[in-house]
Each structure stands twice: as structure tokens, then as C-alpha cells.
Amino acid sequence: MQRFFLIFLFITCFSYSQEEHAWIYFKEKPNVEAALNDPSTILSAKAIQRKELRRTPIDERDVPVNEEYITIVKSRENISVKAKSKWLNCVHVLGTVQDISKLAELEFVSGIEFASNNLNSRASTEAQKITNKLESNIDFSYGLAANQTEMLNTDYLHENDYTGDGITIAVLDAGFPNVNTIGAFERLRSAGKLLGGYDFPNRSENYNNPELSNHGTLVLSNMAGFIEGRFVGTAPGASYYLFRTEIGPTETPVEETYWVEAVERADSLGVDLINTSLGYTLFDDPDYSYTPEDMDGETAFISRGANIATEKGLLVVVSTGNRGDEDYFKIIGAPADANVLSVGAVDKNGNYAAFSSLGPSADGRVKPDVSAQGLEIVAIDEFNNMVQASGTSFASPILAGSVASFWQVDPSLTNLEVMQLVREVSSLYSNPNINLGYGIPDFRDALSKLIENTENSEALFLYQNPVENELRFNNPTTQSYKVTLFDTLGRIILKREQVQNEIDLSGFSRGIYIAMFEQNNSRQSFLIIKK
């Protein structure tokens, strides 16, 4: 749902005088055809290889925003450009309502979307002010990390040499102090698998600034940390980029745009998996706050960006939030409401942790997707101390690292195939609930299912994608397929049994869909572009 500003909207004088957040959307991009003919001009070699491996299309959204447009916007009086998004073809600006509204006069501007409830069609809320969303209390020998790892049977993956090697993870958080010096990440650094990072709010390479929040360091340790004989993260063999997108002491809409910008950079670098232990519901200024009804996967700017990330082949793992025991905003936050793998929290015995935000999404989808230990977990702080902490902030990386270790088994699997398999091997898959979603995944079971599916699978490929009317595919057997078509939010929009080699899509609108083919207990998924 878009929240574009209407030029004739009545606005009070007070609104005109204060500084506001807004997104300025552009009409087109330059040199799209040339860029798509030579993707190496806009994407890294690793990103192109990843997209080819998993059959992810490269399209106009991968082309950067027109820098000339940005320069013109920056030159306008009293306008500050804070961030940009190539996927959504926009920039995030600060300025008064009057000054921002004047940007509609620019011929290349297609729309203006204000973050404030009062300046768009989205209803106002009287929600209370948030304080801080980073709610946390502060042969492998797992030590004190054993329970949180063994609950998911991730240790079984490690025993079989699946530790995330070859998988690249981007961690989006509030700061990563001392990751370049403390012993817990020495193994990561010496292997050349700490690939770098960026501080988007400060436009700086100094993402490990010791003055920043330590939240990202704690989160990273749950995946990449290693202290011999005492601690092992769930993906000690993976490679990592670290991106600061969150400004810990404040809560403003620009953090959503920093997040989207960071995910776009991750995609261009060839990242496979995103972990984000952040969520957005209520802001310092209540006019910007979302309502529970907005958690539909389409309203929040960050959720729209997360949906595109999934379409682009990234597997996005998100903590659901720590508001389950609150009165007003008990349900999941953004971007956990998007088409992502959202993670709730349980205690050491696998029981629901009371603070973990609840599902379903506002449009009725199962949320959280899965759950992992988030109460009284063990992490490593910026001083190399093992500490106890609680929050879905930690359930998410514990799960994300496990997914990365599993994905190493078959990197050709698409993000959608991995997400679905993780759901299927979870403890409540046949009977999900609002507390734990599909439950706690069993990665030993996931490995067994993957091996079984591989042994039973037959080669399948699409003849033409993008598709205009008929989706045609080869059928290497005499048996038919069951075909299920999903939209980008994971909703089933078509089911067909006994499909031999084509299916009619002429009645569908232009866009991106996911087609799942099932035959003989094997399953393959493809992103479909409908022209």
C-alpha cells in the first residue's frame, strides 16, 4: 500500500513549520537497457553468479537511482537527502512539509510519501512513544551455547562439516564495536571471512566504532563467535558483511530507508542471507508510528523493501519483536510481517517466551514463521565476555546461522525452497499457532529430507521466463506435476493438479510470482516474471 502525498491535502500551519521525513519517488531510471545487457556494470560477479545459480532474474530494480535526480533534489532549499533505494527508486529526505511538497514540481518526481500518519491517508494512532527496540538483557565444544544450538540440531550439521562455508551473511544492526579485535572473532578474521561493512547513518566505513551500540556484536557472536572449548556460533564457517542501519538512542523513519539501502548493497555484493534483529512499529514521534493493522507485509516502507529482497533471491531472517507482553502492540513488527523468515523466541525447554511478539500478520498469514531459543541465551560482548541475554534479537541469528549451515549442503536451492523446508521440519508444521508459528525447526530432519528429495528429484527447467501467457516447462517423466502459484507475500493464488508441461497464466497481471512444482515427494520452486 502506497502513502503518496496529495497536493491539495489540507495541512495545519504547525505541520508546515516542523521538519518531516518523506520518500521522494522518481519516474524512471537512465540507461536501463544497457545495464541489463551488461549486469557486471551494476552487480558484483558474486551477485551475478548467485542469481544464475538460483534462477533469480535481474531487472530494472537492480539499476541504481539516477544520481542527477538526487543532485537536483539535494540542491533544493532546506532539503536534506539522507538515504536512497534503487529497488523502490526513491530518496529519503528531511524538510518542512512546504519545502518537500515543492519537490512535486520536478518533472522526474512521480510521488511523495510522508512518514507522518497525519500527512497521508493512513489513519492516525495515539500509540505511546517507544524507548528502544533493541530489547536485550545483557570438533566443536559448544560450552554454554550448547542448548541454543542443540535445540535446533544444528550441531548435527556441524558434525557433518556443514558450518556455513560458502554462504555469505549480511548482519544489519545498531553497531559492531570491537569485532575487529576481540578473540571471539579471531577465527573469522584469520580465515578472511569478515568481509567488511558500512555505517549507513554516518556514511562511514567505521562500522565497528567502539562508541556504537554493542547489540550487533552480541548478535554476530551467535552466528560467527568461537572460543575454543567454550563457545561456538551456529554458522562459524560462513562469511560476513556488517552493516549499521539502526540509530540506537532514537526511533525515526529514516532507519527504515537505511535498512533497505543496506539490503540493496548486500544483494549487489552477492550476499545469500540477511539477519536483522531490528523491528519497527512505534516511533519517537507518534505521527510516524504504525498500527497493528499496518503489519500486513505491504504498508511499512521497510517491509516493501524486504519483499523485494526475497524476490531478488535473498533469504531474509528477522526477529519478530519483543512486545508479546504489552497491551497495545502485541503482534509482530516490520519487516517481520513481510515475505521473510520471521523468528519468535522460546526458553531453554522450548516453551514460548512471554515477551515474544505474536502472530498472525494483519492479513492472516502464519507469523512468526518459526522459533528458536531467545530467553537466557549466551552471547559474547564487545569485551570478549560470555554474557546471558534475552530477546527475539538473539533467536533470529541463532536460527539464521543454522539456516546458513544447512544451505551449504545444496547452495543451488532457492531462498524460497530453503524457507519452506525449514517450516516443514518444524515441530508445529501441521498445527501452527500465534506464539511459535510452525514451531522449532529440526535441522537434522531438514538434512535427511534434502538428501531424500535429491535422490528422488528429476531435472526440470522452464522454456521461457519471463512468460507472456503460457508457462511451458520440460517434463522428464511420464508423470504429471502438481503446480502451486504464490504471490510475493507467499499467498496461494492458483493450484493445479495433473499438469504435464504447461499452465495458462494469461489471466494474471504483470509481476513476479513463485511457481512450486511437486512430483514424487520432490519439490522445486522458480521465480516467474509475468510480462
3-state secondary structure of 303: helix
Active-site position among 62, 99, 173, 272: 173
215 catalytic residue (yes or no):
yes
Q: What is the DSSP letter of 280?
A: B
Phi and psi at residue 281, in whole multiples of 5°?
Answer: -135, -65
Measured CA to CA in angstroms, residue 162 lies from 232, 234, 312, 404 at distances of: 14, 10, 25, 9
- Alpha-carbon distance 372 to 370, whole Å? 7
- Alpha-carbon distance 133 to 278, whole Å? 7
Instruction: Please answer whether residues 488 and 339 qualify as being in contact, where contact means their C-beta atoms are separated by less than 8 angstroms.
Output: yes
For the chain, the distance separating the N- and C-terminal CA atoms, rounded to the nearest angstrom, is 22
Active-site position among 393, 396, 405, 525: 393
Beta bridge partners of 387: 379
Cα 307 from chain centroid? 8
Instruction: Please answer whether residues 526 and 481 qualify as being in contact, where contact means their C-beta atoms are separated by less than 8 angstroms.
Output: no
- In degrees, to the nearest 5, what angle opens at C-alpha 263 toward C-alphas 262 and 266? 90
38 catalytic residue (yes or no):
no
Beta carbons within 8 Å of 489's beta carbon, 6+ residues apart = 297, 298, 307, 338, 339, 363, 365
Find the helix or strand (DSSP H, E) in which 255 lies.
Answer: helix 254-268
| Strand segments (E) across 231-347 | 231-232, 239-244, 273-276, 315-319, 341-346
Beta carbons within 8 Å of 376's beta carbon, 6+ residues apart = 347, 348, 388, 389, 390
Identity at 407, one-letter amino acid code: W
377-380/470-472 β-pairing: unpaired
Rg (CA), the chain: 23
3-state secondary structure of 216: helix
319 catalytic residue (yes or no):
no
**Catalytically annotated residues:** 173, 215, 393
